[in-house]
Structure 1
Amino acid sequence: MTVIQPLTSHERTRWPRSLVALVIARAVNRLGSFAMAFLAVTLVEVHGASLTTAGAVVAAFGLATIPSRLLGGWLADTVGRRPTIVAGLVACAAAQLVIAASPGVIGALVGATLLGLAYEIYEPASQALIAECVEPERRPQAYGLYGAAMAVAGVGAGALAAIVGGVDLRLLFVADALTCLCAAALVLALVRDTSTPRSSQDRSGPSPWRDRRLLTMLALGTGFATAWILSTVALPLTVSARGHDAAATGWLLLVAALVTIAGQRLLRSAAGRPFPLMRAGLVLMAVGFAVIAYAAPFPLLALGCAIVALGEVLLLGPPIALVAGLATDVTRAGYLAAYGTCWGIAQTIGPMLATGLMSLGQPIVWLAGAGLCLVLAAITAAVARVCSPGPCPEPR
């Protein structure tokens, strides 16, 4: 009931059909996105690659996601939101099939790089479309629902990965390609494009890379994304080192998903106070990290993961809604693409940082993540003074 109600009503007002369709498409796509977690394992077990080579291939994927975001923003502002979303999902499906069909490491590297270049194309267009079909005061909750779709689908994704991966690891990429195509079909059939494609000469408004507010939000977002990547890399290693089997990590992820779904109600009044909510989210993440740093019993690990998940709820919707409000209609996808590069940066440096800190001791990586979150929380007041909500000034 908690999941269905927010999708259909909000203070007696229905969500737009396009938003509901995007949320469903995101959930369908998420069902198959577990494949990337098995890329390194596939390279080692199927193709006989060394761990160093597997790490280099995964790093190539991460680096390629940065220009992918920027390309997605440019396409969304040039040819439209819906065509960009569909093209990005179809391109992801094609790249996944290249990985699945690769006879060796070189083919897998080509496929992984192509996948990285396609992986984020649909994201800026999706985020811009949400901003344009929902009232500004409802954007934080709308983005929260969009993010929660990943958590909902993540509950079933692990089971699907276990079934398909037990047969052949390469089938994981085939399954991911199929979910991409299904999501593209849903968007094509149900989503109405809200944009008017314009040429670059017709576009107005400043470049996001010259907007101090956007760059400040990008720095804050990169810090949060890095902390999040640290936790995702360190969690399964920590659970294993403390004597729990691999299934325990799945249960912890389930706890986090349930908290993410239940926590969406906290975003109902987020539009008027994004920075206090972001500060609270960072503090909650720091507390959760500190609990996990020294927790050995499973209930304590679950408590730490639940606290972290609650903090993440407050850090996913409000920042994106705030960035969407900094741009004009014709530059919104470009702004969201520039902001989204924080995830590509974090995916590139986060895994290496996490494994390096883990080598110093299990608690170190969690305490480092907690310290990073507290530093970010301390500077949110200064960020708020720079990044006041509201659209960019119209060009003269």
Structure 2
Amino acid sequence: MPRTVWLLVGARAINRLGAFSLPFLTVLISTEFGASATTAGVLSAAFGLATIPSRLAGGRLAVRLGRRRTMVLGLTGCALAQLGIAAAGSLAAVALFAVLLGLAFELYEPPSQGMIADAVGPADRVRAYGLLNTALAIGGTGAGLIAAGLGRWDLRWLFVVDALTCLVCALVLQLVLPADHLRPKAPTTGPAGAGGQGGAASPWRDRALCAMFGAGTIFALVTMQIMIALPLSLDRRGLEPADAGLLFTTSAVTVVAAQPALRLRRLAELPDSAALALGYVLMAAGLAGYAVAHTLPAFTAATVLWSLGDVLLLGRALSVVAELAPPGATDRYLAAYGISWGIATVLAPVTSTQALEHAGVAVLWAATAGLCLALAAAQLLVVDTLIGRTRRSRAPGTDRSPEATGQVSRT
């Protein structure tokens, strides 16, 4: 991997090491300010909503300000907002800084993902994004241990330490990444998707991207539901809810250990849609395991299964989106695709808790597994077709002009 990739991976690991405060935001709101669970949930949802324009702004700012400046701006903004939460003396102040945190939270992602896409060739993008996923997993494992220690002392210190890691990450990127060289503005006309509709300035007019976005939103919803519903499911099965931390650590270790498998010839040469479908099937198998599990070893085995699917999905999906983007539009395509996580952050607390309340553990996870199987089928039958059309429309020698397609008006 090029030096730029390793620098971004290392910086992301540092940042992720401190990203343990957000799960405790609702706890802080409830314990420090006596707010109800409903109020705490609404404020957390407000944070999730704010991440959607943040992701889109990250793609635009990467083009206008430069990638390094955008990443440093986002990390610095996160640090200031988290320090504001730590020092807040009222619920209104916490709400304000939570929204500001959401607005800065996703600025980092589009430029960093776009920089990786440009630093390596198409054949190496899956492995490069896999390394980024590995950094998140390693940092997440350490973050849980730090949170366990600081959280017993004072919840506000979680936000202080998280802010410090953001500032350290921003400083590292400012010092080691090459200076920004602004690229020419992407054209606003010309082919940009299946059927040649739209231009680089309008990723949403690319049918293949919209299909990937739809699948990505459901995948993100499944992932967020795991984060939220797994502790509650353990409790309902008579196990210790805190053991969810062990399961999340198991997932992180699996993601790290499975990275070399991405270099296996048979796996690396799988067509994109086949690899994505396989990932969804593995996730379905793991989540179906949750539906019938009643012991911690059974939950652990199921966690390993869906985590193997996660390894196949994250890097491959980002690689496909980066390939779909026309020249100069990589950041905006990745930004558009990435808002799926903001939508999932808002919806998952509602869908997971309501399903548990009205249907129970088995139905929740069986339905989620079925959703993953539906994603596998859709990937092979629908999404793959749209991706193929886009690739053919941009193949060298393909003329998409009105004259070539007979779409010229005659007088």
TM range, smaller chain: over 0.9
Determine the C-alpha separation between the residues in 2 that align with 1:272 and 1:137: 12
Q: Is the 8 A contact 1:326 1:392 kept in 2?
A: no
Q: Offset at 1:85?
A: 0.8
Q: Which moved more, 1:320-329 or 1:124-133?
A: 320-329
Match of 1:65 in 2: 51
SS at match of 1:26: helix
Matched, 1:50 2:32: no
Offset from partner CA, 1:264-292 (integer Å, 9 cap, x none): 12323547521111101101111100111
Matched, 1:16 2:2: yes
Amino acid at match of 1:261: V
Q: Offset at 1:245?
A: 2.4
Determine the C-alpha separation between the residues in 2 that align with 1:311 and 1:182: 32
Mapping 1:187-206, distance limit 5 Å: 187-192=173-178, 196-199=182-185, 205-206=199-200
Match of 1:340 in 2: 338
Larger radius of gyration: 2
Offset from partner CA, 1:176-234 (integer Å, 9 cap, x none): 10111111111112223575334477898431011111111101101111111111111
SS at match of 1:33: coil
Matched, 1:120 2:73: no
Matched, 1:39 2:34: no
Which of 241, 255, 258 is the equivalent residue of 2:253?
A: 258
Which of 110, 113, 136 is the equivalent residue of 1:150?
A: 136
Closer, same or farther: CA 299–241 of 1 in aligned 2, 3 Å: same
Match of 2:62 in 1: 76
Match of 1:318 in 2: 316
Q: Offset at 1:329?
A: 3.4
Q: Offset at 1:31?
A: 1.1
Amino acid at match of 1:373: C
Q: Which moved more, 1:250-259 or 1:237-246?
A: 237-246
Match of 2:76 in 1: 90
Q: Offset at 1:258?
A: 1.1
Match of 2:405 in 1: none
Match of 2:368 in 1: 369
Which of 130, 134, 138 is the equivalent residue of 2:120?
A: 134
Determine the C-alpha separation between the residues in 2 that align with 1:166 and 1:266: 38
Closer, same or farther: CA 138–89 of 1 in aligned 2, 3 Å: same
Match of 2:226 in 1: 231
- The alignment's C-alpha RMSD in Å is 1.9
Q: Offset at 1:157?
A: 0.8
Matched, 1:383 2:383: yes
Q: Is the 8 A contact 2:232 2:241 kept in 1?
A: no
Amino acid at match of 1:133: A
Q: Offset at 1:247?
A: 4.0
Determine the C-alpha separation between the residues in 1 that align with 2:336 and 2:31: 36
Q: Is the 8 A contact 1:141 1:270 kept in 2?
A: no
Closer, same or farther: CA 82–390 of 1 in aligned 2, 3 Å: farther
Q: Offset at 1:77?
A: 1.6
Amino acid at match of 1:137: A
Determine the C-alpha separation between the residues in 2 that align with 1:198 and 1:343: 29
Which of 304, 307, 310 is the equivalent residue of 1:306?
A: 304
Matched, 1:267 2:262: yes
Matched, 1:296 2:291: no
Q: Offset at 1:90?
A: 0.5
* Paired residues, number: 382
Q: Offset at 1:243?
A: 2.6
SS at match of 2:183: coil
Q: Is the 8 A contact 2:185 2:328 kept in 1?
A: no
Determine the C-alpha separation between the residues in 2 that align with 1:330 and 1:195: 13
Closer, same or farther: CA 271–35 of 1 in aligned 2, 3 Å: farther
Amino acid at match of 1:67: P
Offset from partner CA, 1:48-75 (integer Å, 9 cap, x none): 1111110110000000000000000000
Match of 1:8 in 2: none
Determine the C-alpha separation between the residues in 2 that align with 1:135 and 1:391: 19
The TM-score with structure 1 as length reference comes to 0.92
Closer, same or farther: CA 271–21 of 1 in aligned 2, 3 Å: farther
Amino acid at match of 1:306: V
Amino acid at match of 1:69: R
Amino acid at match of 2:68: R
Determine the C-alpha separation between the residues in 2 that align with 1:73 and 1:111: 23
Q: Offset at 1:342?
A: 0.8
Match of 1:211 in 2: 206
Q: Is the 8 A contact 1:279 1:380 kept in 2?
A: yes
SS at match of 2:239: coil
Q: Is the 8 A contact 2:58 2:111 kept in 1?
A: yes
Q: Is the 8 A contact 2:55 2:107 kept in 1?
A: yes
Q: Is the 8 A contact 2:211 2:383 kept in 1?
A: yes
Q: Which moved more, 1:271-280 or 1:115-124?
A: 271-280
Q: Offset at 1:105?
A: 0.9
Q: Which moved more, 1:247-256 or 1:375-384?
A: 247-256
Gapped runs of 5+ residues in structure 1?
1-14
Offset from partner CA, 1:297-336 (integer Å, 9 cap, x none): 1111100001011011111000100100111331110000
